Amino acid sequence: MPVSYMEVNLSALRHNLRVIRQHLPKEVECLAVVKANAYGHGAVETLRIALEEGYTAAAVARVEEGQELRDAGFTCPIYVLGLPLPEDMPIGVNKDLILPIDDTVDLESLECIAALSRKTIEVMLPIDTGMNRIGTHPEDVEAFLEKLKKYPHIHVKGTFTHMATADHKEKDAALKQLDRFDEAISHMPVNKDFVISSANSAGVIDIPRSWHNLARPGIIIYGPQPSDVMTNKLDLQYAMRLISHVTHIQTLHKGEAIGYGGTYVAEKDMKTATVPIGYADGFPRCLSNKGVVLINGKRCPIIGRICMDQLMVAAGEDVEPGDEVVLMGRQGEEEISLDEVAVTAGTIPHEITCDLKRIPRLFVDIDYDKNC
C-alpha cells in the first residue's frame, strides 16, 4: 500500500451518475464529462460506469484525452470541447473524435486530412453566447454554415454553448445566453439527429430549458454541488478520499518554530506529526497554517508551511507513526469534505481534484449507506 494515495469510490460514482440520469427526462441523452482524467478521478473507470448507467457519450477537453479513451477500447461518441490546432487534426480524424470548429480553426487543413483519410469528420459548432471563450457569434452562424459548404469531408453533427453563470441563484444572465443560443439554432439545419447541448452541471440541476437533447454533467458526477446558492440540489456523494500516513512524531517545545520560514511558533509544548504529502502531490500550499487533517477520527490543524513533499500537523497524544491520515473525506464519524477543502483554499472543488497528480489512484467499491 502506498504511503499516500487517492481513494476513488466507484460505488459513489455510480450513485451520482444514476441520480443525474434519473433527474433528466428519458428523451434527453446524457454524456459524461471526463476531461482532465475525470477531474482527477480516472477517466477510463468513470466512463466505463457511465456507459453502464445509460450514458451515451463522453466529453474531453483535448484531442489527446480522446485518443487515450479510444486506445482504452471505447467506441462511443467522444466530443472534444477545445478547438483543435492543425497538429491535433490527424489524431482527431483517425480516432473518430467529434471536434468543435469555428472561424478561427484551419478548415483547409481539416478538410485535407479528412479527405486523405477517406473519412468524413463529424464536428460541433460552439456558439459564443456570452462566455467569450470560443465559438461563432449567433449573427455570424449563417455565413459560417455557407462557408462550410466548400468542405465536403466536414459534417456538422450539432451545436453547443456554455453558460457562464448557470450556478448563480439569479438566472437572468444564463437565460439571456440561452436566448442567444436559440437565435443561433434558428439558422441551423436542425433535424431529429442534430445534437443540441447547453446544459452543464448547473444547467442539469437548475435550468430545464437548457437540457435540449444532450446534457453534459461534469463536476456533479464526482460529488460536489455546482454552488451552494442554487435553487435545487441533487443527492450526490463525494467519490474521492485523500489519504496518507504519519511517518514521524516529535515534541515541539514552547517557543520553537516549525517548517520553512518559521511561520508557526509553539505557544506551549505540543506533539506534532509529519505526513508525507505536499504541494508537489497537488495538495495546496495555501492551506499552510489553516487546513486540517483527520487522524484517529479527530481534526488536527496543519501547522507551518506545507512543503513540497511533506506537511506537519498538531497531533493528539494517541497519534503514532503509521496512523492513517485523511486530508479529504470521511474517517470514523468525522469528515473533511472536498467543498470544505476548496473553500479553505479559496478555490473551487474542480481545481483541488484536478491538481492531485503525483500520488497513485486506488479504486474501491464501497456503499457507505449499506456499511454504516
Q: How confident is the model over 21-47, as pLDDT tens digits? A: 999 999 999 999 999 999 999 999 999
Report which DSSP code applies to 286: G
152, with CB counted inside 10 A (0-12, 13-18, 19+), is exposed
* 98 and 78 Cβ atoms separated by less than 8 Å: yes
116 and 260, same domain (yes or no): no
Q: For residues 38 and 41, what is the distance between their CA atoms, to the nearest angstrom?
A: 5
Q: Which of 258-270 are b and which e, b meaning 16 or more Cβ less than 10 Å from the residue's Cβ?
A: bbeeeebebeeeb
How many domains is the chain built from?
Answer: 2
In a domain, 358, yes or no: yes
126 and 15, same domain (yes or no): yes
* 160 and 124 Cβ atoms separated by less than 8 Å: yes
Q: What single-letter amino acid sits at 315?
A: A
Q: Which of 156, 190, 222 is the last residue of a domain?
A: 222
Terminus-to-terminus CA distance in the chain, angstroms? 24
216 and 282, same domain (yes or no): no
pTM (2 d.p.)? 0.96
Range of the domain at 38: 10-222
121 and 163, same domain (yes or no): yes
Q: CATH number for the domain including 319?
A: 2.40.37.10
- At 171 the pLDDT is 97
216 and 246, same domain (yes or no): no
- At 157 the pLDDT is 98
| Residues linked to residue 32 through DSSP beta bridges, in sequence order | 58
- At 366 the pLDDT is 85
Nearest to 246 by CA among 272, 268, 281, 266: 272
Mean confidence (pLDDT) of the chain: 97
- At 370 the pLDDT is 63
291 and 363, same domain (yes or no): yes
Strands 99-100, 324-331: pairing is unpaired
In a domain, 169, yes or no: yes
Contacts of 28 (CB under 8 A, 6+ apart): 211, 212, 213, 214, 215
In a domain, 316, yes or no: yes
Q: CATH number for the domain including 161?
A: 3.20.20.10
139, with CB counted inside 10 A (0-12, 13-18, 19+), is exposed
Q: For residues 21 and 29, what is the distance between their CA atoms, to the nearest angstrom?
A: 9
C-alpha of 51 from chain center = 18
317 and 216, same domain (yes or no): no
Q: Which of 174, 190, 222 is the last residue of a domain?
A: 222
307 and 186, same domain (yes or no): no
Contacts of 89 (CB under 8 A, 6+ apart): 99, 106, 109, 110, 113
Nearest to 27 by CA among 181, 147, 169, 196: 196
In a domain, 228, yes or no: no
In a domain, 286, yes or no: yes
In Å, how far are 10, 21, 101, 185, 250 from 158, measured between CA atoms? 32, 21, 11, 9, 62
Residues annotated as catalytic are: 35, 260
Q: How many CB atoms lie within 10 A of CB 142?
A: 14
In a domain, 5, yes or no: no
Sites in the chain below the pLDDT cut of 50: 372
- Which three three-digit cell numbers place residue 111? 478538410
In a domain, 4, yes or no: no
172 and 51, same domain (yes or no): yes
147 and 77, same domain (yes or no): yes
203 and 249, same domain (yes or no): no
289 and 362, same domain (yes or no): yes
In a domain, 246, yes or no: yes
Q: Which of 157, 189, 222 is the last residue of a domain?
A: 222
C-alpha of 220 from chain center = 8
Contacts of 65 (CB under 8 A, 6+ apart): 34, 35, 36, 37, 43, 80
* 330 and 368 Cβ atoms separated by less than 8 Å: yes
